[in-house]
């Protein structure tokens, strides 16, 4: 279940979440402004949010992290740090016990009461308000760089991430007009497929890789009826490597509802790492490129 | 009826009021100890010595020697949390004992009159629909949105049930139980529908809410639920006398001069307020309302004069101890408190039952 925070849509509830964030952080705004002005170096960072942690490591600040939250599991050494729990259920005292000089939180961290106590403590608390999405990668990297006093490194990394995305767009412009219909399978329980509809991170990634979500009608992650699966007629099945019981190609294509699909005929099955595929961190362009090259092997992307 | 009065007035064989008074004294001492443990345990290592120097600083010398961070841990994290645990635990223990007395059933809990199911439905609605349909309400109420929704849900659901079970000024406890089952099924269905609509983040929030937590405690939360718990405590003498009489049945209690209908109405109202407020701020914390009254009944007998205050003291102690464990055992993260209350409560309960050769169940 560590994946769940990655699975929600990057853009769906952006506005409400911003409003919520505004209220939750109304108290903290002065702290944030002050922090952005002075840009002191931070040496004991508590990092909350998988992509925040990933970006910190990319900026070469991994050794300054004293604790992470339970959604931070990339790079693997991040998961060995003390864990302050799930990002939406933070404990103020647990974080204070790490004696941090900077607390970095991803959009949606909470609860607001715990954050208010942390703000009161005088420790710098900076929220990266942009929700994880391809378009916000650069902005998030720059915000984190400013928070830890590594502005030039962050500029370089953000520039590279933005360039990668622009280059990906240019390369994908030459894809065949016939877009692949991709079904993202989260899990199979009791022979029923749980698949990604619109407004999910998986949907955003499928579209970024130049394909179409086979489930244009449903929203969120929902168990599908067999008839909906047949009607979706996916060309490719996409899933994640991670988890105790990963979805396997033979199990997917053994399902009667999928046996007649184009994907089953071609044995078209793609499995990728969860945070890489759905994290919308600095590796987003690489993940989308890899996905596109596996969806369209004949187009020779690279 | 004269027999009943004789029994009530003469110190007869089987009178356990001395035991009751002793138990209350012991439970009060336990509660003081639990408060101290709650104030001095946590991942930051702020301990008894810091608490003493804090108290000396604020009461005697007037200036603090503690570091700013330690002060914040004590003043902004632990003290409100201890207060909240005290109130919530007392509310849950008391509500459980009252429901068992009112329904003359040792397995009754505030869930029977729809408090928890109503609060759950409203809380899940707040979590799932908060960012969309209920956004104006959520932005207007801010952090109080979920607690207020849950409390309103508890009151509305209980009120509805009470109206259904009342015919011609008479409330039948059997009708209350039966309509409670059907209304419970309805709220379950509505909650299930909301869960179906929820995204993964909301699902995770729902799971954590349903396991309960005292995390994020503030003085505001403690203050806002205090009136409901204190009102329940103030009504204790009236409720205890009434519930003791009710053991003999509605009719017998009526002939003993107990205003039975008023007693039922007030009991349900008090439970909806106290338990609803507790669930609203801390989530649904299982087992406190069942285990504490049961342990007490095994020790001091069924007299509500001692049982009700005992359940309040014991519930508060159990919750504070469970919370101290919840925040240290997985530090720096926190376990949901519902796990701990059940993990402590269930084995102790079983041991006591086995120790009495199972007779405790029938008492």
Question: pLDDT higher for A120 or A31?
Answer: A120
Check CB contact under 8 Å for B143 and A23.
yes
Cβ neighbour number for residue B255 with a 10 Å cutoff: 14
d(CA A31, CA A175) in angstroms, rounded, equals 47
Q: Does A99 touch chain B (CB under 8 A)?
A: yes
Q: Does A2 touch chain B (CB under 8 A)?
A: no
Contacts of A204 in chain B (CB under 8 A): none
Contact indicator for B317, B27 with CB cutoff of 8 Å: yes
Contacts of B222 (CB under 8 A, 6+ apart): B80, B83, B84, B87
The per-residue pLDDT for range A194-210, each reduced to its tens digit, is 899 988 889 999 999 99
Of B76, B200, B332, the CB nearest to A117: B76
Cα torsion angle, A6, A104, A95, B124, sign:
negative
Contacts of A114 (CB under 8 A, 6+ apart): A90, A91, A92, A95, B215, B216
Compare all CA atoms of chain B with the CA of A119 and give the residue at the minimum distance: B72
Contacts of B142 in chain A (CB under 8 A): 23, 112
- In chain A, the largest separation of any two C-alpha atoms, in whole Å, equals 62
Of B143, B201, B330, the CB nearest to A113: B143
CA-to-CA dists, residue B189 to B117, B121, B162, B196, B324, angstroms: 11, 9, 20, 10, 35
Q: Does B82 touch chain A (CB under 8 A)?
A: no
d(CA B208, CA B327) in angstroms, rounded, equals 15
Contacts of B333 in chain A (CB under 8 A): 70, 83-86, 91, 94
CA A249 to chain B, closest CA, distance in angstroms equals: 24
CA B266 to chain A, closest CA, distance in angstroms equals: 34
Q: Does B136 touch chain A (CB under 8 A)?
A: no
Q: Does B5 touch chain A (CB under 8 A)?
A: no
Question: pLDDT higher for B169 or A165?
Answer: A165
Q: Does A103 touch chain B (CB under 8 A)?
A: no
pLDDT at B111: 82
pLDDT at B356: 63
Element (H, E) at A184: strand A181-189
- To the nearest 10 degrees (0 to 180), the angle between helices A14-24 and A112-120 is 40
Cα torsion angle, B69, B72, B75, B81, sign:
negative
d(CA B81, CA B74) in angstroms, rounded, equals 10
Contact indicator for A144, A154 with CB cutoff of 8 Å: yes
Alpha-carbon Rg for chain A, nearest whole angstrom, is: 20
Contacts of A21 in chain B (CB under 8 A): none
Contacts of B334 in chain A (CB under 8 A): 85, 89, 91, 94
Check CB contact under 8 Å for B208 and A83.
no
Check CB contact under 8 Å for B327 and A83.
no
Q: What is the DSSP letter of B73?
A: I
Q: Per DSSP, what are the bridge partners of residue A141?
A: none
Contacts of A96 in chain B (CB under 8 A): 43-44, 69, 72-73, 77
pLDDT at B11: 53
CB-side exposure of B218: number of CA atoms within 13 Å? 16
pLDDT at A185: 92
Let me know the angle formed at the C-alpha of A107 by A103 and A110, rounded to the nearest 5 degrees.
Answer: 65
Contacts of B106 (CB under 8 A, 6+ apart): B100, B294, B297, B361
d(CA B339, CA B320) in angstroms, rounded, equals 14
d(CA B80, CA B281) in angstroms, rounded, equals 12
Compare all CA atoms of chain B with the CA of A220 and give the residue at the minimum distance: B199
What backbone phi and psi angles, to 5 degrees, belong to A149?
A: 75, 35
**Which of A24, A89, A93, A100 is the mutation pick for testing B, counting most B CBs within 10 A?**
A93
Contacts of B269 (CB under 8 A, 6+ apart): none
Binned average pLDDT, 10 residues per bin, chain B of 363 residues: 48 74 95 96 89 87 82 91 96 94 86 89 92 86 86 93 87 87 93 88 86 87 93 94 91 91 92 92 87 88 93 96 92 88 83 65 47
Contacts of B208 in chain A (CB under 8 A): 86, 88-89
Question: What 3-state DSSP class applies to A270?
Answer: strand
Check CB contact under 8 Å for B78 and A93.
yes
What HEC string does A204-243 produce? HHHHHCCCEECCCCCECEEECCHHHHHHHCCCEEEEECCC
Q: Does A82 touch chain B (CB under 8 A)?
A: yes
Cβ neighbour number for residue B252 with a 10 Å cutoff: 15
**Which of A22, A86, A92, A108 is the mutation pick for testing B, counting most B CBs within 10 A?**
A92
Check CB contact under 8 Å for A117 and B208.
no
Element (H, E) at A140: helix A137-148
Of B196, B200, B327, the CB nearest to A8: B200
Of B43, B143, B196, the CB nearest to A112: B143
Please, what's the b/e burial string for B25-57 (b: 16 or more CB within 10 A of its CB; e: otherwise)? Answer: eebeebbeebbebbbbbbbbebeeebbeebeee
Rounded to an integer, the average pLDDT of A25-46 is 58
Contact indicator for B304, B239 with CB cutoff of 8 Å: yes
For residue A125, pLDDT over 50 is answered with yes
d(CA A122, CA B149) in angstroms, rounded, equals 32
Q: Does B132 touch chain A (CB under 8 A)?
A: yes
pLDDT at B9: 53
Check CB contact under 8 Å for A17 and B68.
no
CA A214 to chain B, closest CA, distance in angstroms equals: 19
**Which of B47, B72, B141 is the mutation pick for testing A, counting most A CBs within 10 A?**
B72
What is the token pair recorded at A268? 């078209």
Burial of B197 (0-12, 13-18, 19+ CB in 10 A): middle
Instruction: Please report the residues numbered 137 through 166 in chain B whose beta carbons come closer than 8 angstroms to any beta carbon of chain A.
Output: 138-139, 142-143
Instruction: Please report the residues numbered 39 through 58 in chain B whose beta carbons come closer than 8 angstroms to any beta carbon of chain A.
Output: 42-45
Instruction: Please report the residues numbered 332 through 361 in chain B whose beta carbons come closer than 8 angstroms to any beta carbon of chain A.
Output: 332-334
Question: pLDDT higher for B170 or A105?
Answer: A105
Q: What is the DSSP letter of A39?
A: -
Contacts of B45 in chain A (CB under 8 A): 97
Q: Does A91 touch chain B (CB under 8 A)?
A: yes
**Helix, strand, coil distribution of chain A in percent, nearest 5:** 50, 15, 35
CB-side exposure of B130: number of CA atoms within 13 Å? 29
d(CA B196, CA B128) in angstroms, rounded, equals 10
pLDDT at A42: 87
Contact indicator for A43, A130 with CB cutoff of 8 Å: no
Q: Does A29 touch chain B (CB under 8 A)?
A: no
Q: What percentage of residues in chain A have a pLDDT greater than 70?
A: 85
Check CB contact under 8 Å for B201 and A4.
yes
Question: What 3-state DSSP class applies to A48?
Answer: strand
Element (H, E) at A128: strand A124-128
Domains with residue ranges and CATH for chain A: 2-168 (3.40.50.1980), 181-299 (3.40.50.1980)
Question: pLDDT higher for B190 or A299?
Answer: B190
d(CA A134, CA A288) in angstroms, rounded, equals 10
């Amino acid at each position: 279940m560590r994946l769940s925070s990655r699975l929600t849509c990057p853009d769906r509830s952006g506005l409400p979440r911003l409003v919520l964030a505004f209220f939750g952080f109304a108290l903290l705004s002065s702290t944030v402004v002050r922090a952005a002005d002075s840009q002191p170096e931070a040496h004991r960072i508590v990092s909350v949010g998988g992509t925040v942690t990933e970006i910190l490591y990319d900026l070469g600040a991994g050794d300054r992290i004293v604790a992470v939250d339970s959604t931070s599991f990339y790079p693997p050494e991040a998961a060995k740090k003390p864990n302050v729990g799930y990002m939406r259920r933070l404990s103020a005292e647990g974080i204070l016990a790490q004696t941090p000089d900077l607390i970095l939180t991803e959009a949606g961290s909470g609860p607001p009461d715990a954050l208010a106590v942390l703000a009161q403590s005088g420790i710098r608390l900076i929220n990266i308000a942009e929700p994880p999405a391809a378009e916000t990668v650069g902005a998030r990297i720059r915000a984190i760089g400013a928070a830890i006093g590594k502005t030039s490194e962050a500029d370089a990394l953000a520039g590279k991430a933005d360039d990668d995305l622009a280059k990906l767009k240019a390369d994908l412009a030459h894809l065949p007009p016939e877009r692949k219909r991709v079904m993202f399978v989260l899990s199979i329980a009791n022979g029923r497929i749980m698949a990604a509809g619109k407004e999910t991170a998986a949907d955003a990634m499928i579209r970024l890789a130049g394909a179409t979500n086979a489930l244009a009608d449903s929203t969120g992650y929902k168990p599908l009826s067999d008839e909906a699966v047949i009607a979706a007629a996916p060309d490719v099945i996409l899933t994640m490597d991670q988890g105790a019981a990963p979805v396997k190609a033979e199990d997917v294509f053994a399902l009667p509802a999928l046996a007649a699909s184009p994907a089953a005929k071609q044995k078209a099955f793609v499995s990728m790492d969860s945070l890489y595929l759905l994290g919308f961190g600095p590796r987003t362009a690489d993940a989308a490129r890899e996905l596109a090259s596996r969806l369209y092997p004949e187009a020779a992307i690279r | 009826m004269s027999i009943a009065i004789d029994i009530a007035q003469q110190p007869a064989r089987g009178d356990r009021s001395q035991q009751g008074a002793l138990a209350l004294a012991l439970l009060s001492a336990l509660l003081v100890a639990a408060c101290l443990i709650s104030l001095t345990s946590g991942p930051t290592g702020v301990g008894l010595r810091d608490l003493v120097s804090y108290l000396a600083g604020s009461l005697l010398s007037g200036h603090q020697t503690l570091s700013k961070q330690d002060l914040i841990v004590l003043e902004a994290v632990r003290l409100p949390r201890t207060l909240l645990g005290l109130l919530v635990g007392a509310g849950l223990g008391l509500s459980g004992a009252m429901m068992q007395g009112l329904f003359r059933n040792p397995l009754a809990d505030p869930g029977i009159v729809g408090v928890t199911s109503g609060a759950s439905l409203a809380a899940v609605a707040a979590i799932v629909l908060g960012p969309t349909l209920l956004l104006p309400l959520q932005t207007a109420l801010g952090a109080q949105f979920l607690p207020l929704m849950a409390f309103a849900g508890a009151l509305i659901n209980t009120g509805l049930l009470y109206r259904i079970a009342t015919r011609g000024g008479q409330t039948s406890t059997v009708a209350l139980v039966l309509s409670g089952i059907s209304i419970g099924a309805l709220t379950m269905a509505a909650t299930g529908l909301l869960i179906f609509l929820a995204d993964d983040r909301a699902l995770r929030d729902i799971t954590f809410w349903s396991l309960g937590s005292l995390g994020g405690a503030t003085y505001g939360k403690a203050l806002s639920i205090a009136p409901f718990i204190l009102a329940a405590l103030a009504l204790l003498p009236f409720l205890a006398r009434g519930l003791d009489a009710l053991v003999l049945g509605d009719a017998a209690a009526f002939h003993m001069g107990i205003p039975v209908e008023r007693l039922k109405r007030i009991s349900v109202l008090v439970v909806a307020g106290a338990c609803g407020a507790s669930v609203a701020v801390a989530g649904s914390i299982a087992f406190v309302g069942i285990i504490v009254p049961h342990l007490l009944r095994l020790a001091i007998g069924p007299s509500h004069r001692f049982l009700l205050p005992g359940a309040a003291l014991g519930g508060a102690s159990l919750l504070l101890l469970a919370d101290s464990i919840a925040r240290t055992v997985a530090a720096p993260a926190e376990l949901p408190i519902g796990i701990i209350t059940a993990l402590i409560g269930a084995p102790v309960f079983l041991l006591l039952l086995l120790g009495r050769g199972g007779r405790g169940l029938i008492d």
